[in-house]
Amino acid sequence: MASKVQARIGEWRELTAEIIAATGRDPQEIGAVSVDFLQYSAYVLLAGLWLRAAARAQDALEQGTEELAFYQAKLVSADFYVRRVLPRASAHREAIEGGADCLMALPEGHFAF
């Protein structure tokens, strides 16, 4: 799990730098990518929190906790999030990489159609 989350964090940093650079070239970029960037960020942040919870659960299990089922459930839930939910961040990354030009291509007057 840790390697997948670390990879996403690295990707998040790169994506952030790309957005900042693109916004310098075209101020429309920030508005065009804002929603997808926030959603991408949320997926990655939650993955980090699940990883932290999994690490604490693993520590508790190794120390012989009496709440075995609770901590095992944390590990299973973290694994589920990383394997089944976190990949959804990729769709937001791809939308961000689509840029603002396709959003701004339609002239304002055409919204009346």
Give the tens place of pLDDT for each residue, 17-53: 999 999 999 999 999 999 999 999 999 999 999 999 9
Mean of per-residue pLDDT scores for the chain: 95
Residue 111 lies in a domain: no
In total, how many domains does the chain have?
A: 1
pLDDT at residue 105, rounded to an integer: 87
Indicate the pLDDT class of residue 106, thresholds 50, 70 and 90.
confident
CA distance 93 to 39: 9
Residue 113 lies in a domain: no
Residue range 74-87: average pLDDT?
Answer: 98
CA distance 93 to 37: 7
Residue 112 lies in a domain: no
Question: SS3 for 89?
Answer: helix
pLDDT at residue 113, rounded to an integer: 75
pLDDT at residue 103, rounded to an integer: 82
Q: Report whether pLDDT(72) > 90.
A: yes
Alpha helices in the chain (DSSP H): 2-25, 28-62, 68-80, 89-97, 101-104
Q: Which residue range(s) make up the domain with 73?
A: 2-106
Residue range 72-77: average pLDDT?
Answer: 98
CA distance 37 to 13: 11
